[in-house]
Structure 1
Amino acid sequence: MPNLPIKYPMVNSSMNSSHLLSVVEVCSRKMDWLHNHYIHLYLGANMDVMDLEFLSPEQSLGHFPYLNLKEIRLGPERVAVKQILDCLAEKEYVEVSLDEFYIEGKHYFNKVHFERNFMIYGYDDLSHTFSIAGSDYDKIFEFHELPADQIISSLRAHAFERRSIRSVRLNEADKMHFEPTTLIASLADYYYSRQPETMVTCPGTDGGSCWGMKVYGALLDYLDRLARNEIFYCVRPFHLLWEHKKCMVNRLGYLSQCGYNLSDFIMKGYEDIYETTLILRNILVKYHLEPDLNLLRIAARTVESIDVQERALLSALLKEFSTVTSKIEEKENSR
């Protein structure tokens, strides 16, 4: 059975949507709508790991652009595998939640029960392996082969009457556009560290969680706990923070192309933050290779610096973009 087409996603560190984006990337449609998303950050309630995440389009819209998602109840073990194969035969991808405790090579293999979502996009009849894609614990996004028996082991660990998969089909007819008002609202929610009022599905962030700019304080707490060996090491949140700034730089470039002229202070400022967050990420990678508490101290000072700089930039951006948007709307209405 040939593999379905799939591409490396623009945002590759998000465990809740990078696998979905890897399918959307196949779509020929323009991706302008992405600039309305991957703005807001939240920290999950699991205090044993640094569960930093983007608010996904599915959580904010109730659906994922350019994808038709259909929930399918799983039957018994072998039937469940056939259900997955039937979807692939219909040229439908399969989103499945698997327990890494049963998957060789994964961070939590034979250690801790930890589920995450993967996208199945192919099957090899000779080797009895599935082709899957998804964000890993700290390896970010990966494509790899998974033996069918490991999927069965993961599924067997749960009551099948409560288990389901989602078939995923590209919807080329979908039309999503960039919306300035949505961008302003999302930037404001991020700046003021508040949960969006328009959110359709809640990511379950109760119990010590936080939103938006407050995640910088959470990152400082994480570095402190890491220095005291009270939490697992994970570079993914720092990679995700870097990707967040990469999205912001791309977004500002897109706005400039669309005629939203912003000051050099904002454009240059976010380019500087983008470079600084990459340095921060690399400091954490170096710490993993050569544990040194001085590296964590440098990382903490860097987080504090980014926090201060981005607060000033966001304040200016919200004012400037609102003003520029109003002028453009007035000009269009006067025609």
Structure 2
Amino acid sequence: MRKILPFKQPLAYGYQFYAFPLGILAVYPKASEWVLSNYIQLVYEYTDQSVSVPFSFYVYDYSVSPWLQTLRLNRQWCSSRNGRVNDIVREAIGKDFYVYLSLNERYVPQRIAYGGRKDWVHDALIYGIDDETNTFELYGYDERMKFRSTQISQDDLARAYYDTGDEPFYDVPFTMYRFDDAGAYSFDLGFVCQGIVEYLDSFNTSTHFQAQRDPWDRAYGLKTYDLLDAHLDGYGRGVIRYDPRNVQVLWEHKRMMVARMRRCAELIPAVGDIVKQYESVERQAWMLRALTIAHQTGYDRGDFRAQASSLLRRIRAAEEGLLGRFALELERGGPPRATQTAPSSCK
């Protein structure tokens, strides 16, 4: 059997839990309407040193989309299949399901922990199988922190899945994704406007889902800039460890916003006047990302704390004004959508 399911690097890939479903959807242009209607809000933990994901997009459930069929199992269920994880994965891929799971990267080639003595359980996506080479195709971050495709032998997969070591670890659900060609989603300008305003108002978007889960007491939207500024300052002073994911997420948010504006400009021409100006915000976010990486690798000899703080303030000021204009054009250009706790406009 040889079968490779399609996968395309998505607009956002800082964390694999959202990169994988987005990479599946990126293959299908018709799914972009849903993607661009979401991934608007940002959320930041108040104590970013004590959590594994301090800063990210806020989406209630990253695995759910009208364009995906999603099945979830757990390790206990898979372990009860008499060590047959290879058979489960093989059957899933044969039926066009991608498999998202946790593997011990000590046994996964081209990963940082490969061949070492320390167990490192991390998430991965299996999207293909090749019996001729006796491998499964994986997607994820390699030993150089490049988000790309690699392989694991079929013999090693079971060990990487079952031999997780003695230390506790975060185990993602054994999740199977399949693109649903019968899916449907309407691009609603009022809903997009609501998301933009909630971002500008730093509104706690998690309160919309209180029927399913207690609201998250975290910083949202523009308020996340304050915490990101404090994080970068702490890193510059040497009291916070290097973590490039925060500035990666910031840049991805601007990148996604540019794509969203371009789509809206097709429906509301006046938005086109904002796009090029906002592209400058994206470039500045990219510059902040590059500055942080350069500082960590020793290529930047300037005053990182002053440069990073100044650049972040410019990004925030420019974005706040441009997104305010964007929300105004959306409000004028399409029917608004009601919210249960109304932000300042789009009511």
Do these two structures clear the TM 0.5 threshold for a shared fold by scoring above it? yes
1:1-335 to structure 2, matched below 5 A, reads 1-27=2-28, 29=30, 31-44=32-45, 46-48=48-50, 51-56=54-59, 58-59=61-62, 63-72=64-73, 73-76=77-80, 78-100=83-105, 103=108, 105-107=110-112, 116-125=122-131, 127-134=133-140, 139=145, 141-148=147-154, 149=156, 152-157=159-164, 164-196=173-205, 197-199=207-209, 206=217, 209-262=218-271, 264=273, 266-290=274-298, 292=301, 294-325=303-334
Q: Please give the TM-score of this superposition, normalised by the length of structure 1.
A: 0.81
Gaps of 5+ in 2: 337-347
Stretch of structure 1 that moved more, 104-113 or 240-249 = 104-113
Q: Structure 1 3/270 Cα, relative in aligned 2: closer, same or farther at 3 Å?
A: same
Instruction: Give the superposition deviation at 1:8.
Output: 1.9
CA distance in 1, matches of 2:240, 2:103: 23
CA distance in 1, matches of 2:335, 2:93: 48
Q: Which SS does the other structure have where 1:234 is aligned?
A: coil
Gaps of 5+ in 1: 328-335
Work out whether residues 83 and 158 of structure 2, in 8 Å CA contact, stay in contact via their aligned partners in 1. Answer: no
Instruction: Give the superposition deviation at 1:19.
Output: 0.6
Instruction: Give the superposition deviation at 1:163.
Output: 7.8
Q: Structure 1 11/57 Cα, relative in aligned 2: closer, same or farther at 3 Å?
A: farther
Q: Structure 1 46/284 Cα, relative in aligned 2: closer, same or farther at 3 Å?
A: closer
Stretch of structure 1 that moved more, 46-55 or 80-89 = 46-55
Instruction: Give the superposition deviation at 1:40.
Output: 1.0
Q: Which SS does the other structure have where 2:83 is aligned?
A: helix
Work out whether residues 278 and 322 of structure 2, in 8 Å CA contact, stay in contact via their aligned partners in 1. Answer: yes
Q: Structure 1 245/128 Cα, relative in aligned 2: closer, same or farther at 3 Å?
A: same
Instruction: Give the superposition deviation at 1:24.
Output: 1.7
Amino acid at match of 1:212: G
Number of aligned positions between the proteins: 320
Q: Which SS does the other structure have where 1:261 is aligned?
A: helix
Q: Which SS does the other structure have where 1:117 is aligned?
A: strand
Q: Structure 1 42/135 Cα, relative in aligned 2: closer, same or farther at 3 Å?
A: farther
Of all paired residues, the percent bearing the same amino acid is 21
Q: Please give the TM-score of this superposition, normalised by the length of structure 2.
A: 0.79
CA distance in 1, matches of 2:311, 2:144: 21
Work out whether residues 103 and 122 of structure 2, in 8 Å CA contact, stay in contact via their aligned partners in 1. Answer: yes
CA distance in 1, matches of 2:93, 2:316: 45
Cα RMSD (Å): 3.3
